[in-house]
């Protein structure tokens, strides 16, 4: 199984294997935005076997928060908190990647008093009781881009091995690229290439921070969702343009966001595996991380056949921190969590317990 083998990025950084922990929100930070002790234990336990941990996403601007009890990285006062997290992950030899984002219109209402929910345009998400966001002004957009630069500096100072730019899952970066959420007719929208401007400026900002810190071995990744269900919405053809542009940047990896590693289109009736279509566009220029419903060695073998360079495991690691040992010995991870024998933070366990069907996990 080649995913158990070491992997070296183009910047020379070596992973002990090609398996990563997928970024998943814990809902378990402290009220002041710092990392909680329960989160440190959670990440430390899951860093013992995989080669790389991508953290649940952090936010840098007050109006960028997406979830309750999300940890914060908006100023230098939070560097010590971030450093605790990077050390907890790295102590077992895994590389620590901090995922960074702005929630945009997907910010949960009620998180803050007088909450300011913003987006590319004043178009609400297609979900029940979705708030109408305020359209961002040009100077605000520039400030958000700057915040990605600043948080990258903090990540480096806090000892992280890299950052992952969260351009997926309907959050602000994707909102600027999407024809559903971006109805602007200025330099930030109006056609596919103008909608690309914000995501690419964010990438440039993060790369600039790495270069200014003279940190050549710092890993930069970018996560994207290949399609949207909305009409108008992001199509696979749109994403191929995005991916091609991203491959021209100094990125160390791309990370496709999928519910299942061998998923086909959610917009069209065909049997083309989305990951394969993206790999054709990449054409070996940048490593691609695949993800989605990896619970067995058979799943890993099938993912390997698709051609992914690395694989991220999400729910499998919620269930079983020693995921490689389990896959090698038992061949399959059972989708059951013993609530009395788990290192999941309390809030995350409560969330999974309430939504067992959507997580696809049974709590006993």
Token representation of residue 317: 């690691």
User: Are 63 and 33 spatial neighbours (Cβ–Cβ below 8 Å)?
Assistant: no
Q: Is 15 helix (H, G, I), strand (E, B) or coil?
A: strand
User: Residue 204: how many CB atoms within 10 A of its CB?
Assistant: 15
Judge contact between 236 and 246, C-beta under 8 A.
Answer: no
Q: Which of 171, 222, 308, 359 is catalytic?
A: 171
Whether 222 sits among the annotated catalytic residues: the reply is no
Rounded CA gap, 259 and 316, in Å? 13
Q: How far apart are CA 303 and CA 294, in angstroms?
A: 9
CB distance 287 to 309 below 8 Å: yes
Burial class of residue 110 in the structure, from the number of CB atoms within 10 Å of its CB (0-12 exposed, 13-18 middle, 19+ buried): exposed
- 263, 231 contact by CB (below 8 A): no
**Residues noted as catalytic:** 171
């Amino acid at each position: 199984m080649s995913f158990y083998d070491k992997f070296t990025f183009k910047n020379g950084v070596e992973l002990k294997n090609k398996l990563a922990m997928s970024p998943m929100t814990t809902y378990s930070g402290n009220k002041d935005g710092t990392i909680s002790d329960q989160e440190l234990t959670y990440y430390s336990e899951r860093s013992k076997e995989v080669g790389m941990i991508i953290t649940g996403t952090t936010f840098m601007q007050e109006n960028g928060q997406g979830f309750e009890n999300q940890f914060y990285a908006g100023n230098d006062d939070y560097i010590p908190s971030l450093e605790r997290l990077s050390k907890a992950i790295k102590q077992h030899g895994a590389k620590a990647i901090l995922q960074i984002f702005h929630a945009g219109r997907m910010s949960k209402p009620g998180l803050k008093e007088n909450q300011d929910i913003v987006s590319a345009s004043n178009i609400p998400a297609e979900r029940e009781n979705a708030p109408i966001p305020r359209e961002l002004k040009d100077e605000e957009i520039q400030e958000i881009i700057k915040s990605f630069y600043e948080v990258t500096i903090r990540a480096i100072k806090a000892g992280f091995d890299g950052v992952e730019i969260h351009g997926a899952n309907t959050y602000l970066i994707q909102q600027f690229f999407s024809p559903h959420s971006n109805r602007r007719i200025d330099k930030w929208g109006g056609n596919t290439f103008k909608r690309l401007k914000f995501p690419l400026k964010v990438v440039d900002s993060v790369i600039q921070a790495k270069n200014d810190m003279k940190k050549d071995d710092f890993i930069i990744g970018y996560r994207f969702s290949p399609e949207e269900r909305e009409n108008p919405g992001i199509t696979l053809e749109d994403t191929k343009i995005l991916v091609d542009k991203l491959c021209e940047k100094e990125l160390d990896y791309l990370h496709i966001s999928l519910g299942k590693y061998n998923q086909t289109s959610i917009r069209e009736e065909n049997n083309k595996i989305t990951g394969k279509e993206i790999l054709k566009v990449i054409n070996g220029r940048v490593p691609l991380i695949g993800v989605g419903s990896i619970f067995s060695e058979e799943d890993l073998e099938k993912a390997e056949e698709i051609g992914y360079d690395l694989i991220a495991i999400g729910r499998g690691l919620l269930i079983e921190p020693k995921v490689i040992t389990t896959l090698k010995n038992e061949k399959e991870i059972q989708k059951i969590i013993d609530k009395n024998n788990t290192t999941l933070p309390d809030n995350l366990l409560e969330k999974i317990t309430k939504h067992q069907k959507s997580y696809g996990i049974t709590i006993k």
